[in-house]
Structure formats: structure tokens, C-alpha cells
A and B are shown apart, each in its own frame.
Chain A
Amino acid sequence: MADKVKMVKIVVLGEGFDVPEDLTIINALEYAGFQLTHGVGCREGFCGACGTIYREKGDYKLQAGLACQTVVSDGMYLAQIPFVPAEKPVYDITKLKPDITAIKDNYPIVFRCVACNTCSKVCPQDLEVMDYVQALIRGDIERAADLSFDCIRCGLCALRCPAEIVQYNSAMLARRLCGRYLLPESKDLTSRVKEIAEEKYDKELDELVKMNLKKLKERYYSRDIKLFDH
């Protein structure tokens, strides 16, 4: 039998609900009888769909977090945010240069950063959001891409930013520029793609497709296994 769980009261739309104290906000809302149709996603902290704001008992501060990763507390006042309707400019990645011009043309708003660091403080992933915004302002695409790598695009940074910057979308552009233009070329990948285009493996693959089960099993069980870098 499970040990007895302590209950706490959460407040949703002005109404109090008793829920077990160890639930996350998402689970607590469901426990209280709400069928969620938005502001909920992977429920594991990977998709950023459930960024939300709340207020704790006796506190004036509005706090922000992921509803699937934040545990409720007694007297917590909850709200739900379906998503952050932030701007996403349209661009052709093949026509951009991986430097400050791409940022200027598509996200001129980032230059309004007042370096207040609210974005970093609110980030549920504990990213140094302000630092990557500053990197974008310097045109240091690689640094911005690296610092923002673990971003889950919940949008809470943009929601709280006094300069109205769309941090998470501008970082997405930085990572795409970095992945396409700035990481060193993988020669193995280039040559393998070329080999395949030249149909180097087609004959052997066609044979495998037609091979009878007995022979195929022989091939499979006799294949050599190399799992170390030499």
C-alpha cells in the first residue's frame, strides 16, 4: 500500500482544489478534473508546450516554469498559457550569411536588449539566455548556438522580456545558421552521400532484398562487429 499522501490546496480560476502535495501542476490540474487540451505536451520537459505562470501563497511575485516540471505547493495560484504567440519571421536559410546581417535582417529586436537578465532568471532550463542574446548582438553565431542548444522553446523568456525580444526564436535561427554553415564539414558524410548517388551499394542491397531467409541469417550472424574507434 502506498503511504498516505499529504494534500494541499491549489487555486484555479479563483476556486480551491485539494490535491496530493507531490503532484506537478499538470497532474494537479487533471486531479482537480480539468481535461487539458492546450498548454500540455510531452509531459517530460522536452517540448516546452506547458510554460506557465503562477503565484505562491503570500508572495506578490509572478513566477514562471514548466507545468509538467513544477510541483504544486499549498495556496499556489495557477493560470494556464496555451502558448506564446511570438513572432517568427520568414526567411530562406540558403540565402542567409552566418553573421550579424542575418540577425539584423530577421531579428532586429534583439539589439534592444537592456541586459536586465530577466530572461536567464526565468528560463526553466537554466540557460544563460541574456548571454546568448548578447552573443547575437555581437554576431557571434556559434556562441549563441552553443549557449542556446538546450532551449526547449517554451517562450517564457519572450513573455517576461521588457525589451520584447523573441529570444528563443532568434536562437533557433542561430543554431540553424551554425549547423548549416559554421560546423566543420564531415568529409565521410560527403563522400558516403556521393557513393550512394553513384549507386555503389545498389547491387548488394538488391541481393539482400531478394536473399532467402537461411542465407540472410548466415550473413547476419557472421557479420563482424566493430564498436571501437581505432
Chain B
Amino acid sequence: MYPESMQESIKKVKKTRSERLKLVKSGKEIYSMMTEKEREVVLNKFHPDYQPDARRKIRIGPNKGEELTTEVADLLETYSRIDPKDFDLTKLDYETDVLVIGAGSAGFAAALLAEENGVDVLLVTKLRIGDSNSMMAQGGIQAAVRPDDSPVLHYLDAIGGGHFENKPELVRALTAEAPDGINWLKDHGVMFDRNPDGTMITKSGGGTSRLRMHSARDYTGAAICATLRDEVLNRPDHIKILEHQPVVELIKDNTGKVSGAVLYHLENREYFTIKAKATIITTGGFGRLHIRNYETTNHYGATADGLVISYRVGAKLMYMDSVQYHPTGAIYPQQIIGFLCTEKLRALGAQPLNKKAEPFVNPLEPRDVESSAFIRECLERKKGIKTPSGHIGVWLDTPLIDQINGKGAIQASVPAMVRQFARFDVDMIAEPILVYPTLHYQNGGVEINAQCETNIPGLFVAGEASGGLHGRNRLMGNSQLDLIIFGRRAGKFAADYAKGAKIGKLTLDHIYEYEKDVKKLGIDRSKISPMVLPDYIPDAVKAKQLTTKYHGTLR
């Protein structure tokens, strides 16, 4: 139920619905697509990335002098939470062949493939295994499986969607191995949606030229991630797991190879050291940095820790100047602000409307353009709808979906979302939902090649933490695929590398080197990273938490 203050606008939406339905049925567009020029104007003026202070030059480290997203640059120009002199690296707590940091789908795929290639794996995570963005993906996973599709078309779609800035060798690996990735998941028992004759049910997604999106209802990410977790747990002889222990620094050896890591136990606050012949980072993205104060669709742990520890050992970042905002994040009810309302809703016919129930943008502009148009409608034209908590959004008229596609269409295609809204008394089948752009995805990351290697020997990266695959714009369904294809690759190549690796004397001296540069910038010693977990404690409470030493991190 919407509060009284929003009812008047809802009445208008209901009133104009039949007119808008007629328009759809007549085959006319509800609102014309913008011209290239119009897109440019709205992007420049309203897209968060294009605001004057959205990016700044990073002053230290391997990307020194490059423009990065401001919050990322701020996060990187910081001190370590440890002092290397406190660690005796001749006495280690754990030793392994391959260390995997981060337990989402990419980490699981890496662990499984490393194990299958004959090495021992240590899988570490700062929460429970499986607690990750991977688990939350709703929409789908791309793979060119239909007879009218091919890896070649998938390649073109992905590289065009990324404005031709994607690293070609990565896109090649992604698209050529996609069908095998789906087959591998199926063999592990993922229940992809299928027709009675066995053909995969496939849907379109923004920027795809064929029906290529495979799904498992709207729990696609959960189905994949939980299946792989179950399989990882089936191999206890060679895959050891440590939970609730974030990695806070990487360890190198005297030849400059990454050779292990330092763990921090979140519950008993002890630090532990790991020696590893190869290290794979699968820590995901940065949604919880709340860039430009945006709400996020991301998991509690999405704080870019992998980026920070990689940068400190000298790994180069790529495309860390672009952020993906999803146009339709929930902005009401209060309890689900920032939650993702999948692109599928607009593909099925839901229309964005302002408070007067007027259409103001075509529902299927590219994500960045659509988001900017929403922001313009709310901030410049003042035609957004205000919620009791003071947030502003636009309507997404979901009841149209059933009117266009037949009764029951919403319930059948997005059960998770219907449930989500119903929990807070909004019936999205009968009433529109209120949405606003939300921080969704880290397009860039640590630069990798097709073997998931970075410029630092011994350090491999896969999934959202990596950079290069998507250019500056990822298409829907290519992130789930990324986790599987590059997670597997990282596992295999890291295992191969580990078999021949000789580790020298271990050191954390690179932290001193890095901190020298941070100090030169005059940065306050209280600024430390990685963040590990976000901080949502109100200022008034914090003022009384007298031993709080650090901002934006654990105390």
C-alpha cells in the first residue's frame, strides 16, 4: 500500500493506463528513442560519471596520473591496516598451492578447476562461502546456443556493447567457451529453464542480437552459485575453506612474485599468514562504496578489497573510471531501497512515467541513457514522485505487463521480485513500482589477459574484480558468464603456474614502499583500506563510540 501522499499520482497512472495500452497494441512507440545528439546532451548533463568531480587523477601507484572514479582514487590513496614488522614470515599459519580469495561463483569455479588440475586449494572469504553478488543475479547468463546464433555474433554484441574498448582476447575466450560453460553448469546440476522438448528457454537482453539469455527463473545467480558451492564442499580433501576472514594484504617474495596473503579474523581479531604458490582474486566489485552517494544493488561485502590489495603489490588497473548505474533500482518502500528491478520488466512492457503519469523516455534506451533521463526528470524537471522518507523516483508501470502479455505473466517471469515487494505491502501486479537509478556494477578492475594473469607474477584475477573484458559498459548476462569462464580459466592457469613455481623469501616490504608515497601526499594516517565492510552506523552513535579509530572500516 502506498501512503496517502503518493495516491494522487497513482490514480493518474491508473487512469491513463488503458490509453497507453492501446498505443502499445497499435504497435506505436510509447516514446521515441533519442537521437545521438539528444543522448549526448542528457548523458553529459545528468549521468553521474560525467559530473565534473566524478573522476580525479590518482597520484600514486601503477596507474599514477590516470583519471579514476573519485571514490576509487580516495580508497587507493590510503595506508595499510597492518604494520609489516608485526609479522614473522618465517612462521606461517597456512600453506597451499593455490589461494582463492573471494567465495562467489568465480571463486568456486576457480577452486574446482584448480583442484581438478591436481593442486591443493585454500578458499578464503570475509563472510560465509557463497555470500556474494553472484548469488543475487536475477536476469540470466549469455551463451550462443540457438541454431540461429553463434559465438561470432556473441563476440560482436559484446564488443559493440563495450564501445569497442574491450580486450579482444578476453571477449574471444568469453564467447567461444560460453556454451561449454553452460554445459558444465548443467552437468553440475544447475536447472536452467527449458522447454518440454529440452531446448533452452532464451530471452533477449539489452544489446543482444539473438535470444541468448539463459535463466533459472529469476534466481539464476543463486542457482549457479549454490550449485557450485555444494560441489566445492564435496571436495574437502583438496579444497580447504576459511570463512569470516578477509584478506587485508598480499605477501610477495624477494623476486617480486605474489606468494601469499595476510588474513584478519573478523570475530576473534587475530591475523594469520598464508604462503601460496599462486593467488587468485575473485572478490567482486565496489557497490558498497556508494559512489556519488548512490544506493546500490550490491552485496554487503562489495567493497573493492581485491582492487586495493592488488594495487598495493603493483597490479595495473583498467577502466576504473566508469561505473554502471542500473536505471531501475527500487526507491520505495524504504526497506528495499536500491534493490534491483530487472531490465526484463521494461522488456516485457513496463513503462517509466513521471508524477503526472506522462511517459518521458523510451523504456529501452541503453542503461546509461535511461538512467540519465530518470535523473533529469526528477532533478531538473521536478516531475519525480516524493516518498515519505524524502526520496524521489519515477513510476515503472508494471501492471501493464500482465495486460500486454496475459494474466499471470508477471508472477511467472519474476517471482522473486513479486515476493520482494509483497513483503512490504506493494503488489506490483496491481500497482506501479517506484524506481530510481542505483549503483550496479564495476565495469573495470585489475587488468588481466586471457590466462587471468596480471602484470605481477603469481597474481591472477577473475570476475568483477578484473578489468578489460567489458570495456566501459557490460551487457546484461555477460557478468554471470564472466564468473564461470574466467573463474575456470583462473583455476586452471593458476594450477599450472603453481606446479612450477618456486617461492623465495617472503616479504611485506612493498607496503612500506607504498605508504611512503601515501605519506608524501600528506594523507592522514587514519585513512586505511581495504574497507572490508561498509559502515552504516549513525554519526550520533559513532560520536559515543570513543575507540573508533578509523573511518569507513572496521574498528
Contact = CB atoms under 8 A, between A and B. Distances in A.
B227 A47 contact: no
Interface string A203-230: 0111011100100110111011111110
B152 A204 contact: yes
Contacts of B267: 37-38
Contact of B136 (A46, A173, A216): A46
Interface string A186-206: 111110110011000110111
Nearest to B170: A209
B217 interface: yes
Which residue of A24, A47, A176, A206 has the most chain B CB atoms within 10 A of its CB atom? Answer: A47
A224 B192 CA distance: 27
Interface string B291-306: 0000001011100000
A118 interface: no
Contacts of A31: 536-538, 541
Which residue of A22, A46, A184, A197 has the most chain B CB atoms within 10 A of its CB atom? Answer: A46
A152 B128 CA distance: 14
B209 A225 contact: yes
A227 B297 contact: no
A178 to B, nearest CB: 6
A179 B191 contact: yes
B356 interface: no
Interface of A is mostly: loop
Interface string B258-269: 000000001100
Chain A interface residue number, banded: 35 or more
A12 interface: no
Given A149-B219, A224-B209, A188 B199 contact: yes
B187 interface: yes
A220 B156 contact: yes
B198 A88 contact: no
A36 to B, nearest CB: 8
Contact of B194 (A35, A46, A186): A186
A36 B182 CA distance: 36
A144 B253 CA distance: 51
Nearest to A145: B191
Nearest to A182: B191
A83 B544 CA distance: 30
A68 to B, nearest CB: 8
A41 B131 contact: yes
Interface stretch (A1-9, A56-64, A108-116, A157-165): A1-9
Interface in A116-168: 125-126, 145, 149-150, 152-153
Interface in A170-184: 172-173, 175-180, 183-184
A97 to B, nearest CB: 13
A79 B252 CA distance: 42
A44 B420 contact: yes
A90 B189 contact: no
Chain B interface residue number, banded: 35 or more
Contacts of B155: 205, 208
B169 interface: yes
B526 interface: no
A196 B179 contact: yes
Interface string B139-160: 0000011111011110111011
B376 to A, nearest CB: 23
A92 B164 contact: no
Given A44-B336, A201-B152, A30 B209 contact: no
B187 A180 contact: yes
Given A42-B136, A188-B146, A47 B131 contact: yes
A213 B471 CA distance: 14
A40 interface: yes
B52 interface: no
A22 B135 contact: no
B254 interface: no
A183 B164 contact: no
A205 B175 contact: yes
Contacts of A229: 211
Contacts of A75: none
B227 A179 contact: yes
B16 interface: no
Interface of B: 5, 127-128, 130-133, 135-136, 144-148, 150-153, 155-157, 159-160, 164, 168-169, 172, 175-177, 179-180, 182-183, 186-192, 194, 196-200, 204, 208-211, 216-217, 219, 221-223, 226-227, 230-231, 233-236, 244, 266-267, 297, 299-301, 333-336, 339-340, 388-390, 415-416, 419-420, 423-424, 533, 535-538, 541-542, 544-545, 554-555
List 6 A-B pairs, minimum CB-CB distance, nearest first.
A176-B189, A2-B390, A184-B198, A179-B189, A220-B160, A33-B541
6 contacts: A3-B390, A22-B335, A37-B244, A41-B135, A49-B131, A69-B335
Interface of A: 1-3, 5, 22-24, 27, 30-38, 40-47, 49, 69, 71, 83, 88, 90-93, 125-126, 145, 149-150, 152-153, 172-173, 175-180, 183-190, 192-193, 196-197, 201-202, 204-206, 208-210, 213, 216-217, 219-221, 223-229
